[in-house]
Amino acid sequence: MQNKLEFRKLREFGEIINDMFQFIKQNFKPLMKTYIYLCGFFVLAGMLAAIMYQLGLKDLGFGYMGASASSNPITRLSQLFTFNYFLVIIFSVLNYTAIVVSTLSFIALYIQKDNQAPSVDEVWAYFKYYFLRVFGSSIAIGIFLVLCFLFCGLPFVYVFPAMSLFYSIMVLENGSFEYSFSRSFKLLKDQWWVTAGAIFVIWIITYACMSMASIPAIILTMAAAFTKASTGMSTLAIISATVIQYVCQVFMILPVIGVSLCYFNLVERLENTGLLERINKLGKAESDLNSTSEEY
């Protein structure tokens, strides 16, 4: 039987990537069950909002020679930024929050249960406690990253790895916003380049997986665009492409697991908590063995 993955240990660059896939392989069924139960509603809601928005654009003739599309720029903007448009954004943020919270809650319980996968009910108890905290924090972090990006992009590149660690600290350490924000920079103090490189590669892998899985949707969209050039994409093509796009969001689990491995690697380098815990367990195991009463 394969040994269960240990989070609290030092890892090199390649080990972080390998262990990310190993953890998913070892816990695939309970992890997917957690994803479906806790993130399924937001995926479906976002999918329906996106389909209605895309169909609305099709009826207005955006991007085509449609007669119903207004030539007035202000009118066209009002037709673009509809109620469904904002619904898509809201459910996208909620879905991302649900993925982050459910996956990190799963990892926290996995560690507490001595490397055993938790049940959905156990994850749900963590999920409902952290969801609103992470959701509110994600809005603040999003605004902060946008402001950093507007300043020539350089501050964004510097703070993005730290903000990636922010959610792991908040859930795995039950940290407040201020504590999680400051600790993320503290952990990265002497390990920025290695951690930033690992996070960058993790996101490349994530987008590559999503792109590969979205190939049928891309082919369908291109075929519909060429065959229906005068009237726009068909309704079936829009629905199919949107469904595939939202199903592929399951790959967003990858960066959450990968960044959490980066977080534990940084904590171990700074504090050696995992090593000390394993030493303590070893001592307890030996004392329990020696304290066994003898029978005559």
pLDDT of the residue at 72: 64
Q: Which of the two residues, 70 and 245, has the higher pLDDT score? A: 245
Cβ(237)–Cβ(224) below 8 Å? yes
Measured distance CA(117)–CA(151) in Å, rounded: 43
List Cα–Cα distances, 166 to 104, 190, 230, 232, in angstroms. Answer: 12, 17, 48, 43
pLDDT of the residue at 280: 61
Report the amino acid identity of residue 11. Answer: R
Measured distance CA(284)–CA(255) in Å, rounded: 35
pLDDT of the residue at 241: 85
pLDDT band at 296 (very low <50, low <70, confident <90, very high): very low
Give me the helix-helix angle, 28-60 and 83-112, nearest 10°.
Answer: 170
Cβ(233)–Cβ(224) below 8 Å? yes
Measured distance CA(235)–CA(227) in Å, rounded: 13
pLDDT of the residue at 294: 40
pLDDT band at 207 (very low <50, low <70, confident <90, very high): very high
pLDDT of residue 12 exceeding 80, the answer is: yes
CA geometry: angle at 232 spanning 226 and 233, to 5°? 75
Q: Mean pLDDT over residues 103-131, rounded?
A: 94
pLDDT of the residue at 138: 92
pLDDT of the residue at 230: 44
Close Cβ partners of 264 (under 8 Å, ≥ 6 residues apart): 7, 8, 9, 11, 274
pLDDT of residue 250 exceeding 80, the answer is: yes
The CA dihedral of 178, 179, 182, 186, to the nearest 10 degrees, is: 180
Write the pLDDT tens digit of every residue in 46-95: 999 999 988 887 766 654 444 444 556 666 666 677 888 899 999 999 99
Close Cβ partners of 116 (under 8 Å, ≥ 6 residues apart): 4, 110
List Cα–Cα distances, 49 to 35, 43, 62, 156, 223, in angstroms. Answer: 20, 10, 18, 30, 24
pLDDT band at 225 (very low <50, low <70, confident <90, very high): low
pLDDT of the residue at 239: 86
- Looking up tokens 């994600």 gives 138
- Looking up tokens 């069950």 gives 33
Write the pLDDT tens digit of every residue in 254-285: 999 999 999 999 999 887 765 556 566 665 55
Beta strand segments in the chain, E: none
Report the amino acid identity of residue 126. Answer: Y
Measured distance CA(119)–CA(34) in Å, rounded: 8
pLDDT of residue 98 exceeding 80, the answer is: yes
Give the single-character DSSP code of 64: T
Structure tokens at 37: 């139960």
Measured distance CA(250)–CA(254) in Å, rounded: 8
Write the pLDDT tens digit of every residue in 131-185: 999 999 999 999 998 888 887 766 778 899 999 999 999 999 999 999 999 999 9
Q: Mean pLDDT over residues 229-254, rounded?
A: 81
Integer Rg of the chain from CA? 23
pLDDT of residue 108 exceeding 60, the answer is: yes
